[in-house]
Structure 1
Amino acid sequence: MGALRVWRWVSGTWRPGFGAGVRRRDAGFGTEARRRPQPQASSKSKDPAEDQPFPGLLRTENLGVEELVDVLKAAVVDQKGPLVTLNKPQGLPVTGRPGELTLLSVLPQLSQALGLGHGELQVVRAPGKEASGLVLLSGCPQTASRLQKFFAHSRRSQRPTATYCAITDGIPEPSEGTVSVALKLERMDGIDLAVPVASPSRKDILEGVKRTLSHFHVMATGCGCALVQLQPLTEVTSQIHRLWERGQSFLVRKNSWLLTHLSVFPSQLQVHMALQLCPVLGDHTYAARVGTVLGQRFLWPATTTKPQTQVLDEALLKRLRLSPSQVAQMPLHLHLQRLLLPGTRSRDPPSELLAPVPSYFSRTLQCLRLSQK
């Protein structure tokens, strides 16, 4: 994705430092999104194309334990002693209820498959269920602690260590900048959703409201969509995760890493892109907050908007070669592509880990003629 950009604080916002060029605005933004009518029942036989799975998507929920371990073993991108880095498939939850197939539930079998013996792997860093990308695992508590101190220090110093890439429906304007907003998790119809909070008070902060910050940079544009680089800079506290795991307190007790080891507020990047009126492709939760009238986009109130299948216009569907039923299966196009790790010695520069994007992500890039630089 290229070198990290240098940012400086100017007039209450982050801006690129000297030598960091800014791309010109793309005039192609503003494709109208129309709500597609629901198909009516028919006695005619259904088109087989309507039942086709989403191209290039691995359905991890259809795998058994041994199959998932084989997939994760093949997804290892780096292994140095007790530190293992793998490229997590989209849709695989890191944790879950007892009996559910998750990354944590198969760590003992994965440790054996990787030849780590009885060393117990623990999660150091991981993207959420709906995102794909780099996961850090460690079988050494000292190594895990050192990495967490590095990540915490980097967040306090406002130095991003994680770089995501996303494909958005719409092109952010301007093409480079920062999104900063306070968020809280609010229970709506049995689901915890991230909701913006205007001017949060001290009491709000104590009750779980978090000020979130993300840098974004448009890398390429095409067909009314954009390839966007995203770098979150939000430190998540235990109050946030207690809200996130509401009704699942047993998970918090059993998986204490949840309280400290995730570096992004739940759904932060999806919410930030929706606030830019450019939801991430495959976001069936927050894209509904973006409406369109006469080709102009606007935000619906977050507290009154329910999740639904993302609506894409006919031209984009044709470009992506997707049927309407496949849109409902479209995975979130959000990938943790790069992580910075501390050097061997304190004065050494950080090392870099990279993970290739999934097959479905590559297919979408090709269909939209978006090229990564």
Structure 2
Amino acid sequence: MRPLVACRRRAGGVAAIDAGFGPCLCSGGGARGLCNFGFRRPLATERRPADGRGGEEEVSHTPASTPGVALTIGAFDGVHRGHQDLVSRMVAAAKREGLAPVCVTFDPDPEVVLHPEREHLSLSTVDERVRRLGALGVSQVEVIPFTRSVAHQAPEEFMEQLRSKHDVRALWMGPDFALGKDRSGTVDMLGQIGGKLGFRIMVVDVLLHHGRPISSTWVREALGAGDVRLAAELLGRPFCLDGIVLTGMRRGRQLGFPTANVVPPQGRARPADGVYFVRAVAPGDAGSEGQVDDQSWFGVANLGARPTFGEAEPLLEAHLLDYEGDLYGARLEVCFLDQLRGVRRFASVEELRLQIDRDIATARDLARNAIWTEIR
């Protein structure tokens, strides 16, 4: 079974690209090092009007003499590796130029308002988006309520409103970015608007994973196929779901494998039904200085229906390795590290029990792997 993140060697050694997982053990000798995750580092290009017609040129920047804002706008669903790259580049440039890095995002996701006929399953809550964007070093995350009236705004009107609140000096985006009514606020159009309002456009190439652009859609596809390892590579971290631990039917306890049961949150993307190797995290007790140290355990989780018992309601049931205690009423975050197998109906409860025994043995083998211990 291949590890969550596979290292690839290049001539001259391992390419060091920060993917958010920390150190791992690279294949071929087992020396500890940083992994090459197949990401291509893109270039940032400034686009600004030239003689009123727009244009593109490479520029060098000098620190701004007065305070201002470097801004980026987007849904940032999942805050995946592509989002992280864009925001990190903006933050680094803002520090060099003496600007404040600011992110603007929306709630709900624009897709929910623009296409209500489609099912939209988000990769993260708005609170998680704000927290993860803040962790990248931005000084402010502004959440704009997305409504039909916002969707129908002309791009210049939208940017004028932002400009009235933020002294925008640089607007950062990907090459396919667009905003405003009918997505008319393209990169070129925003360059013209920036010429009038006094900000420049910084365009960052999309981040590629093995030749394909990283996107929230691709993450959802990976989850839908049960490929949580690929989802983790695209996100830069394992995909997690959380919820309050509820009292269940206690079947796991009767089988000898007590579980913490969580109802998957509504409106959220989730992996395909199956049995997974997971890491579960619960808040610990506050320390002497008021800090809270999380507790975590590896485990085996069944996500989805329970066909052996004729139960179709989706449920997340996590058996935590070597845990003894009571988590009822606690908030539990379950992070998906690897799929062990699909969900299937067993001929008898005893056959199910034997399979769970094998699943737990596999999980213990994975938990002993040095690669996994780095993400406790």
Q: Say yes or no: TM over 0.5.
A: no
Q: TM-score if structure 2 supplies the norm length?
A: 0.25
* Bigger RCO of structures 1 and 2 (CA < 8 A, at least 6 apart): 1
Considering only CA atoms, is the larger Rg found in Structure 1 or Structure 2? Answer: 2
